Amino acid sequence: MNDVLTAIDLFCGAGGLSLGLGMAGFSVVAAVDNDEIAVRTYRQNLGDHVLQASLTDLPVERLLEAAGLRPGECMLLAGGPPCQGFSVKRRGSRDDPRNDLLLEFFRFVDGIRPHFFLVENVKGLLSKHGRPHLNEFISRADEQGYHCHVGELDAVDFGLPQFRPRAFVVGERKDGGIASASPWQLFPPRSDGL
């Protein structure tokens, strides 16, 4: 395992997750989003390592090239696929095509072979409507040699002045991860409100 905490941010938006990863000590070497305005904002605030592209059309090899990495060298692949289809407050059909982007995220896990991956989404991903997608994701991760930890965290427990529960899936390669430790033990809520 290399000593540099490299990360790639998928569905990066304007860069909130990348900013947090940087504050946690990661070097975000590539990021991707399909929204032109979000990418422009990201680029202005966080750097030129962001690509504007649809993940459904982006070859994994192109992203690895942009990151300057080979398969297996990335420490963390992170992202928050669109959540509208999993939201418990949504209107309309549950058959939102954006739900399939969760599995599109796994296409990058499979090709990049990061040591760890992190998926953040609304807590509806853990509901009866989101669970089939989540179960398929976990099954594919297991087939490719990843162990998944699934849990729910609320931003209010980390010092934010609002309730914002979110579902998290943390995956680690079985051939070199830390499967004996729970991610929730590694990153407990802060008691100082920061």
pLDDT digits (tens, 9 = 90+) for 48-66: 999 999 988 999 999 999 9
* CATH value at residue 136: 3.40.50.150
| 29 falls within a domain | yes
SS3 content of the chain, % helix, strand, coil (to 5): 35, 25, 40
Q: Are 29 and 6 in contact (CB under 8 A)?
A: yes
The pTM score is 0.81
- Is pLDDT of 97 > 60? no
| 178 falls within a domain | yes
- Is pLDDT of 103 > 70? yes
**CA 115, CA 117: separation in Å to the nearest integer?**
7
- Count of domains observed in the chain: 1
pLDDT score, position 162: 78
Average pLDDT over residues 164-173: 84
The DSSP secondary structure of 142-188, one letter per residue, reads HHTTEEEEEEEEEGGGGT-SS--EEEEEEEEETTTS-TTS-HHHHSP
26 confidence band (pLDDT: 50, 70, 90): very high
Strand (E) or helix (H) holding 127: none
| 37 falls within a domain | yes
User: What residue type is assigned to position 50 of the chain?
Assistant: V
| 117 falls within a domain | yes
Catalytic annotation, residues:
83
Average pLDDT over residues 61-72: 96
The residue length of the chain stands at 194
Residue 7: CB atoms within 10 Å: 26
